Structure 1
C-alpha cells in the first residue's frame, strides 16, 4: 500500500493545513439540493466521475456569476436539478481535490442550499453519474468529508426551523 493510501483522509487533509492558512487552497461552490416531502426532507447525492464516491454538485467559479448562481448551475449540469439557491452560504467544507496531474490540493467549498423546483431529463452530464435522494442524516453517512457530513446533519433542523418561523404568526 502506498504511503498516501495508508494515511487516513483526515491525516492527508491535515498535511494541507499550511497551504490553507496561507490562502493557497482552491475555491469551489456547491449545492445541497433538497426537496420537501409531506413528512420529511430529502437531499441529493451524486457520484463523482473519477472515484465514484458520493458527493454533492460542485464546481469552479464562473465569470459574471455569483457563488449561489454557480451552485445552481452545477446542480443542473451534474444532476439536471432546477431550483433556487439561497444567496447566503449554508456553510463551508474542505476536501482534497485530485488534479489532472495526479496531485492533490486542498479545496475550500462554499455550500448553498438549493430548493428543487424541477428535474430535467436531459442535462450536461447525464449518464456520467449516479444519484440518490436520502434523508440528510443518511446522506451524511455516505460522504467522506467530515465537514460535509456535519453540514448534511444540520439540513433538516435548519430547514424545519425556517419553515416554522415563516408559518408562525405575530405573537
Structure 2
C-alpha cells in the first residue's frame, strides 16, 4: 500500500495533516483479559461490546485494506488518587457519539506526536503535566466525520502524568470527563487494543518506583 499524505479537517475545524499508513489488523482480546477488566458478572457485556466494535471494523474492510489509514495522537492522563494513593486515569466522552475515549487529535504541523497529545489533553480535558516522549502503544478505531462517514484511524498513545487541572479550557462543557480506575476505564471503552493498554498502564503504575526514561 502506498503511503500518502493528505489534509484532514478535524472536529474543531482546524486543518491538520493526517498521514495514511499500512493497516495492521486489530488484535482481539481473549476472554481472560475481558474477565480481568469486567469481572465475571460483566464479562458477557464487555465481550459483546468488543465483538460489536470488531464487527463494525469488518463492515469497513474495503476502506481498511484499500483506502488511506489516518493517524492521530492521544494521551493516557493519569495520577494517584488524592486520598487513596491508587493510580487512576481520566476518560472523556466523544462529542460525536458520547462514547468513552481518551483525549486525542490529528497531527499538527510543526508539533511532535507527544506535543500533540499534550495539547489535546488540555483542550479536551483541561489537564497538564509531564508527557512521555516515547510512545506507549497504538489502538485502531473508526473516526466519525461531520458528514456521518467513517475513516479508519490508528492512534499513537503517550502517557501523561497530570500535575494540574484547569476549570477553563477550550472544550469545557462539550464533553463529560471522569477520573476512574484503569480497570473501570478498560470496561468503558470499546476498542480491544485500548482496553489492553489501560491494563498494561495499570500494571506499570503499581510497580515499585524505578528510574524511568522519558
TM-score by length of 2: 0.70
Q: Does 1:140 align with 2:189?
A: no
Q: Does 1:165 align with 2:210?
A: yes
Question: CA-atom RMSD, angstroms?
Answer: 1.9
TM-aligned CA distance change 1:122 to 1:9, over 3 Å: same
Aligned residues: 160
Q: Write out the 4+ residue segments of structure 1 that deviate beyond 6 Å after TM superposition.
A: none
Q: 5 Å matches for 1:62-141? A: 62-141=108-187
Q: Does 1:41 align with 2:87?
A: yes
| Residue-by-residue CA offset, 1:98-136 (whole Å, 9 max, x unaligned) | 112221111000000000010011100001011110110
TM-score by length of 1: 0.86
TM-aligned CA distance change 1:91 to 1:17, over 3 Å: farther
Unaligned runs of 5+ in 1: 1-6
Tell me the distance in 2 between the aligned counterparts of 1:129 and 1:104. 21
Partner SS for 2:118:
helix
Query: Which residue is 2:52 aligned to?
Result: 8
Quick check: 2:96–2:144 contact (8 Å CA) kept in 1? no
Tell me the distance in 2 between the aligned counterparts of 1:20 and 1:90. 23
